[in-house]
Structures are given as structure tokens and as C-alpha cells.
Chains A and B, each alone.
Chain A
Amino acid sequence: MIKKGKAWKFGNDISTDHIAPGRLFHLRSNLPEFAKHVLEDADSQFAKNMSLGDFIVAGSNFGLGSSREHAPQIIKIAGINAVMAKSFARIFFRNAINIGLPLVECNTDLINQGDELELNLENGVVKNLTQNSDIKITPLPDVMIKILNDGGLAKHIEKYGDFKLI
């Protein structure tokens, strides 16, 4: 599937406290409301300004910090197509794949704020339509591709009644 959208650039070390702040803990039981605050502590206007299908494009170690799965959840609920970064923190990485939010590891220096992007996960390429360039994606491990293809880990287990990953 090919996905198109605009790039929203963020820096290195965007933490789960930036994405889903602890002070909004009480909204964890109301994720659509929580999603209106996504990334608020990194860019207070982001949730308001982004459009459905856009991409978050960050530097290294995106999603470091807490294990709160609410962080990838509200990114997905806000309507972000995928998160691209040079690297991801481990727990965030698992959580995003488990809930079916695609993550793309690539050289995000080749993308500027506002660039139009086209993501083709099958081919492993991000096309930067604004700059007319192709960016290679680091492929996901097979286990994670299986989980994403089943629509997340819960759906995988629902389908097979057990782990059928390895």
C-alpha cells in the first residue's frame, strides 16, 4: 500500500513524555481526547496543524522513555500514517508494531519540514516528492512484519489462539 502525506519534522530524543505527557494521565481512558494533545510538549500546535495521513519525521531515538502504549496509540488515532526516524527506542518500537502503527527507519536528514512524501513499505522506499529523491528504508525483522500484516499482536493472537511467529 502506498501512503502519501506531508512531513512534520522533530529533533532527536523525542520522549514519550513529549508525545503523551504524564500530566494528561487522566485522558488515558479517553484516547480520542488524548490524541488531540499528541506531541504537545514538543510542539504545542502540532495536533491542531497536522492533517490526516501526514508523517512524523524525527531524528534519532524517537519514543524513548516510558512503556506507555498510549504514545503510539494516540499517534495512530490522530491519523498519522507512519513515523520515520533515524532510530527508535526499543519499547516504543515494539508497542507501535503491536498496535499496527508503521515505523520507518531511514535517513531523515534527507527530509525537510513540509516535504511531500510517498511511503511504499513493500518496496522499502520513501519517495521525497518535493525534493525528487528516494530514501532507503531499513527492513523490519520478519516477526514484526508478520505482526503488522495481522493488524497488530492482539489480532495475531486472536487469529491463532497462540504465538505463530517463529
Chain B
Amino acid sequence: MGKTIIEKIIGEYSNKDVIAGDFVVAKVDVTAVQDGTGPLTIEEIKKIGLEQAKNPLRTILFIDHAAPSPRKELSNSHKIMREFAKKTGSILSEVGEGVCHQRLAEDYVNPGEILIGADSHTCTSGALGAFATGMGSTDVGIAIALGKVWLKIPETIKIIVNNEFQPGVYAKDLILHLIGLIGADGATYKALEFTGKTIKNMSMSNRFTLSNMAVEAGAKAGLIESDEITEKYLISRGRGEKFKKIKADNDAIYEKVIEIDASKLKPTISCPHTVDNTTTVDKLKDVKVDQVFIGTCTNGRIEDLRVAASILKGKKVNPGTRLLVVPASKNVFSQALKEELIDIFVEAGAVIMTPGCGPCVGVHCGILGDDEVCLATQNRNFQGRMGNPKGYIYLSSPATAAYSAITGYISDPRQVIKSVAV
């Protein structure tokens, strides 16, 4: 019987022929925590006498959510992580090195591997043809200590996307559209597999955006088969030898198949306070924005900054709007410097901040005032997400965000983007 990507990967790792619904204990390749979940993870394994890392060189502790630290309690949490890394020989990703998911994709995860991370958007690395999923501190702590995890193999929903996007429409619009279609719990306990011609032609950057948001439909993973584009990406990151072809069988069994015609999509927006509360940009009239935020593990990559810079070049941010730009990693930041994108942002009136999560999670910067509206390229708009339950968060692509920063209102980027980017 044919297998889905997830059945193939987990089957190999648990030495069993598995299908959806089976429970297994599987070996884990890469484990990760961030500064919001890491201290509790360390405490949990200390409590049971397992303060150790089974694969220290593939155990990474990221300081990204509250980096640099805004208060002493968080500085002390960071210290716990530094000490654990030192003691176990694990890897520490310091303040300014970037968001965990971007860093994991850049340097640590390979096709066919299993990554367990204490952060819900760990599913981002699924775009590499890896099984990557988010869990809590206890699960990840035990995976760090023992190199194993228990798993239930989820059923898979196959998302087939064909045709080209219109100019001004991107992977972000596609994934927001999909979540609007199936709902915030439309894939709970399931995996998503993205396939079709649109995906085959898509850059890794856009693929990461899709996989990143799988969890916003409740999914355990968002998988994409590995191909030449994956291989090129790995080569560009200096580990081409890690490439491996991972692909579902033609006769694999899916829970459901959803087909999407990419050419019919418009720039899409999630309105407050749930990600599945979507609409198209042309239906939103007169939504004034106080803050625009371009960045995060969803859309803080160099390709995203290029799109935003192409719109902001020679223009000024609206006087009633603040624009915050946060490169997802130090690598992205230095590339943006080289390409002089940062100059464009600064001249337009943007504020550039430390690579990391930035204002996304409402911990250390860019917190909204009462009744303020933010248009963000992040993946979540829950009430209170950006530090104030009285704030309103809309989600969009970097193009929509950049153009809206100029107009001061949520605006349709098709008015300025005339050619297609993949």
C-alpha cells in the first residue's frame, strides 16, 4: 500500500511499517527549545535526573523571543539556557542570531529527518521534506535527554495547488486563504501535504511560509516533498550532501484532497482575532493602521524583504503609521545590508530591529496601545498576541504590509506590483 510523506519518514525511524493511526516511539534527529519554553524544559528533565542531551550537536537552544531581554526575570531565564548548553555541550543560538525556525531551516534540519521543537511553528521545517513538529516542554525535554519521542501517525490532507499567482499574490495569501477555507481546527490531529505545479515551482522561502502556518489550521505538520529546489537551498547553506529525495507514493491514502487554483487568489487578510477570519484585501475599506510589522518566522526572509523594499524604494511611510522591520536571522540581515535593502527601509522611515521574533509575541517591543491596529506579516492575530488584549492585529503578505505602510490604510499591493515573483 502506498505511503504519505509522514508515514514514510516515521516508519523508517521507528523500524516499523506504519500507517496513519499507529502509535510509535521514534528516534529524533534534532531537538530545539526557545527562551519561552526552554527554561521549563530544562527544569523538567532536571527534576527526573536527566539533565543531559543525547545528541548535543543537534540540540539547539534559541534565545529569540525576548532578545535582547527587556527585564531581569527573562535575563535569568536566558542564563539557565546558557548554563544548560555549556553543561551538556548543546548549541546556543544567542541574542540576535535569529528566530528558531529560520535558523533550524538554515543550518540544522535535513530532508527525511525528525525535528521536535518546543515551539508550535516547528512545522516550518516540513518544507524541507522533514517531519518537524511542535510539542511542549516535557515532550521536548525527554526527546533532548533520551533522543526519542512517542508519536501517533496522523492522517494527511493533500493540498494540490496549480497555476500561477497573479502579480502581488504570494504563498502567504495562499495559506491564509486555505486556513480561511478549512478553519483554525480544519486539520487538527492531521498533517498537511502541499503539492501541485505551483508548489513545484515555488522558492524555498515561500514553501517555508506555507509549512510555517500549517499549525494555524491545527495541523501537526506541513510537508512538502524534497526536490531540486530543496537541494539547491541545501547547497546554498553548505550542506548539499544532506539532500535526500522524500516523496509520497502515487497510491498513498489521504484523508481528504483539496484543490486550489492559485491564479484565482487575491491578496488575503486575516482579520482580528482569529487566523481563519479571512477576507480579500479589496473587501476591506478604510482600515487605518497604526503599526506595520514586517518580519517573523513566517515572512522575515530575504525574499520577503526584497518584495517589501521594491515597494518602499523612494517612498515614505505614512506619517500616521510606524513601520517595524525585523529580519528573521542574522544571515538575512547581513544579506539585506549587502543588497542595500536596509538603506531603502531606513530612508522610507522604517525602524530596523534585532533579528529574532520582534513584536510578534508581545514580550519586548512593538506592543500595541489600546484600540491600535497592526498589520503584520506574522502567523497569528489572537487577542492579546502583541502584548495588549485591546489591540487589533491583521495578517498579510509582506507586499500588502509594505504598501499599506505607505498609504496608512490596509491597501491592495496589486496597485503597485505588476510582475510575478515565485
Contacts and interface: CB of A to CB of B under 8 A. Distances in A.
Interface of A: 13, 15, 17-18, 21-23, 25-30, 41, 60-61, 64-70, 72-73, 87, 89-91, 94-95, 98-99, 141, 143, 152-155, 157-158, 162-163, 165-166
A57 B37 CA distance: 26
Contact of A153 (B40, B139, B383): B139
A165 B185 contact: no
Interface of B: 23-25, 36-37, 39-40, 44-45, 47-50, 65-66, 71, 73-74, 76-77, 117-120, 122, 134-139, 141-142, 146, 148, 150, 152, 184-185, 188-189, 215, 218, 220, 274, 361-363, 367, 380, 382-385, 387-389
A48 to B, nearest CB: 17
Contacts of B136: 67-69, 72, 91, 94-95, 98
A40 B139 CA distance: 26
Contacts of B141: 154
A17 B148 contact: no
Contacts of B117: 67
Interface centre among B136, B189, B362, B383 (most CB of A within 10 A): B136
Contacts of B76: 29
A22 B37 contact: no
B25 A163 contact: yes
Contacts, number: 149
Given A29-B77, A91-B120, A67 B25 contact: no
B59 to A, nearest CB: 17
A89 B141 CA distance: 21
Contact of A66 (B120, B142, B220): B120
Contacts of A64: 184-185, 218
Contact of A154 (B118, B138, B384): B138
Interface centre among A61, A68, A91 (most CB of B within 10 A): A91
Contact of A29 (B39, B150, B380): B39
B393 to A, nearest CB: 10
A159 B274 CA distance: 41
Contact of B384 (A21, A70, A72): A21
Interface centre among A18, A21, A60, A166 (most CB of B within 10 A): A21
A41 B272 CA distance: 14
Contacts of A154: 44-45, 47-48, 138, 141-142
Contact of A28 (B23, B47, B77, B120): B77
Contacts of A166: 23-25, 150
Given A141-B23, A153-B138, A153-B139, A22 B385 contact: yes
